[in-house]
Amino acid sequence: MKNGRKIEYIKIPDLTYGNVLEEAKIVWPPGSKSDPHDHRKSTGHIWILEGAIYQKVYDKKTKKFIKLSIYDVGELIIETPDIIHIMGNASLIEFAVTKHIYSPPLRMKYYKLPELKK
C-alpha cells in the first residue's frame, strides 16, 4: 500500500515485440493522490474503471503547469514520457479504480511540489 492506495501488480510479456508490458490495478481511496512523478521512458495507458480521477500535468523540461483534467468511468488517459503529473481520486466520498499498462516497464522519478511551477 502506498499513499493509502492498494496496488495489484503484474507483468505481461508482449510476444509481438519481445518487450514486456507492465500492468497495475490501483484502488484509490476517497481523496487520495499520487506524488508528483514522471514515467521516464515509459508510455502509459490508464483506463478509469470506477469513480473519477483527476490529473494535473506539468511540462517535464520547464516544470510549468499545463492543465488539469478530470476523467470518468470508461475514459482513457495516455501518459507520455515528456510530462510530470499528479493523479488522484476526484471524490472525497467514493473509491476510484484504474487499470494501468506501461511499455517499456515502468521506472518512475519523483519530484517535490516546490520544484513545479504554477
Q: Could you tell me the residue ranges of all domains in the chain? A: 6-115
What 8-state DSSP symbol labels residue 96? Answer: E
Give the angle subtended at the CA of 111 by the CAs of 84 and 22, to the nearest 5°. 60
DSSP 3-41: TTBEEEEEEEEETTTTEEEEEEEEEE-TT-BPPSEE-TT
Q: pLDDT per position in the chain (118 positions), as tens?
A: 455 555 544 445 543 344 678 888 899 999 999 999 999 999 999 999 999 999 999 999 999 999 999 999 999 999 999 999 999 999 999 999 999 888 888 889 999 878 787 6
Under CATH, what is the fold of the domain 6-115?
A: Jelly Rolls (2.60.120)
Integer angstrom CA distances of residue 88 from 45, 71, 104: 16, 10, 23
Indicate the DSSP class of residue 90: S
Q: CA 70 to CA 89: how far, in whole Å? A: 9
Closest CA to 68 of 94, 43, 87: 87
